[in-house]
Structure 1
Amino acid sequence: MLTEKETTVSHRSPANTSDRVDHRPKKIKRGKVAPQQRCLWRVRHRAFLPKLGIAPQQMGTLVTVAFTSLMKFLNFLKPKPAQPTILCYGQQSSRVSQEQIQSLMEWLFASLMAAEYFGKSHIIWYDDNNPDPAREQTVKKIVRSGEPVFLYRCGGKVQPPPKGYYWRMMQEHPSMRIYQLEIKDGE
């Protein structure tokens, strides 16, 4: 006679799986599906695709498009910040007074809000007497993000822009030293 423990074990054993039905096609040698079952599997899965107007070859494309659309929708639902965020690079090493920095940052915030831009933007404080190659690499990384990039010219020259871009002087600012990075036409 079996004890309760042995009964439980034998009840859970893999040999007692006759009540389970496996709907997947059975595999034969080298991982191929048996011909008679291959047809049933194809017929069953092809039945719903024409009703949706989708060819089986288009399923991968459909999944990709659906995923990107879902991600765009989820990004749309993210709460937007109430004001723009401006990240600064090289401000401490610049020769600009705190009053000028304060005035410029207020003007830049107001300009971004007037343009109804509430995302992240970047400003580079560039001194041509003390160039930093790391800032050029930083600009290249920022460009890939698609966020606005501004440059404040502390010396006589601007930082060389990344390939395919140029620095447009923002004539709206009275100092005539602030630039915005823009894509060259035709590129």
Structure 2
Amino acid sequence: MVGASSSSSLLRSLNALADSKTCLSSSIPTLNTKMTQHLTERCCRFLKSASEVPRLYRRTNKDVPVRASAYMDNALRPLHQLLTDSSGLVTPSTAQEWLRVTLCDCTQRYFETISDVLSSVRKMEESLKRLKQARKGGATASAAGSNGGLTDDGKIRLQLALDVEYLGEQIQKMGLQPADISMFSPLTDLVKEARELGEQNQ
């Protein structure tokens, strides 16, 4: 009887363990989603700062940009931190998948922000050109790059291109490839075309 009782107890324990394992397994997709959503919000909080780039260059006589904006490091810090903090806690493949999903979501939102900024820059540029023509140069000459250098709008486009280029470099440092990130190629094309346009207008 004692042996039978012990066997029954062991079976109940095994069944309970199996139920717990099943419960945990079913929770993994939800936990993954919560993790990537949390990371996305933390990163995008800073990526939205791309909308402030025009203010930094328009009519400020700021030098031509040569490196990525500071907001990029702030935006990517949570992802680099994840790689450090998750070591030994989750499998490398799980951490990489969290990064991939987060970067896909972030790049989608970043693309929308950059697209809006470039559209606004284009409209402002056209307005300044019309104003310049109406005034025959006048006060808008400096904004239009009268000294033969890059225009304010050209600097804005160049800065955004440098930011996206830096993003691609950091993606690789995290162990991924830009091709793994769904919207990265369209984002690169967007800023490349804008940069070329800015160089043509200088």
Q: Report the structure, 1 or 2, having the larger helix content.
A: 2
Q: Same fold (TM over 0.5)?
A: no
Rg: which structure is higher?
Answer: 1
What's the TM-score, normalizing by structure 2? Answer: 0.31
